[in-house]
């Protein structure tokens, strides 16, 4: 692949990985006006490896992809198992310009390392606040030691 194509793919990978870091992002759609695997499946593969919090799901179940080019398979690594879930428009098959679209849905409980760290810090802070509140409540409802003795002596 050409140097320009490699630079574009690297930039697209950074953009996709950045989008996948947003904690409230439940679905991220990655789309290009390209038919190059380097900019499409390879970018998604790298982003999935870096995140671990997303999986590829079918964006348009009724879409029919064109058969893959036989030349593309010669000596190339096999396509990822999820590739059939992506939309791939081929000019000769769909009678339009080519494009690629991939829908990525956050896996339940899936969180980036940064999100996990933030969640742990938040839980730790809440626990500390709860303990402080419990101590304050206990202190308020416990009688001072001197009053306890007076009460026992009077009995």
Task: Tell me whether residue 33 is one of the annotated catalytic residues.
Answer: yes
**CB of 7 within 8 A of CB of 13?**
no
Q: Look at residue 75 and give its three-state secondary structure.
A: coil
Structure tokens at 49: 């490896």
Which of 33, 86, 96, 102 is the catalytic position? 33
**CB of 99 within 8 A of CB of 87?**
yes
DSSP code for 2:
-
Structure tokens at 152: 């026992």
Positions marked catalytic:
33
């Amino acid at each position: 692949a050409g140097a320009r194509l490699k630079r574009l793919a690297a930039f697209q990978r950074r953009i996709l990985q950045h989008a996948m870091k947003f904690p409230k992002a439940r679905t991220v759609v990655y789309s290009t006006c390209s038919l190059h695997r380097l900019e499409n499946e390879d970018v998604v593969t790298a982003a999935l490896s870096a995140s671990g919090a997303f999986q590829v799901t079918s964006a348009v179940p009724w879409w029919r992809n064109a058969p893959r080019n036989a030349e593309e398979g010669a000596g190339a690594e096999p396509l990822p198992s999820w590739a059939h879930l992506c939309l791939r428009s081929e000019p000769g098959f769909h009678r339009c310009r080519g494009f690629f679209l991939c829908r990525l849905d956050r896996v339940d409980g899936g969180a980036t390392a940064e999100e996990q760290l933030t969640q742990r810090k938040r839980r730790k802070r809440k626990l500390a606040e709860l303990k402080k509140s419990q101590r304050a409540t206990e202190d308020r409802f416990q009688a001072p030691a001197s009053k306890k003795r007076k009460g026992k002596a009077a009995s």
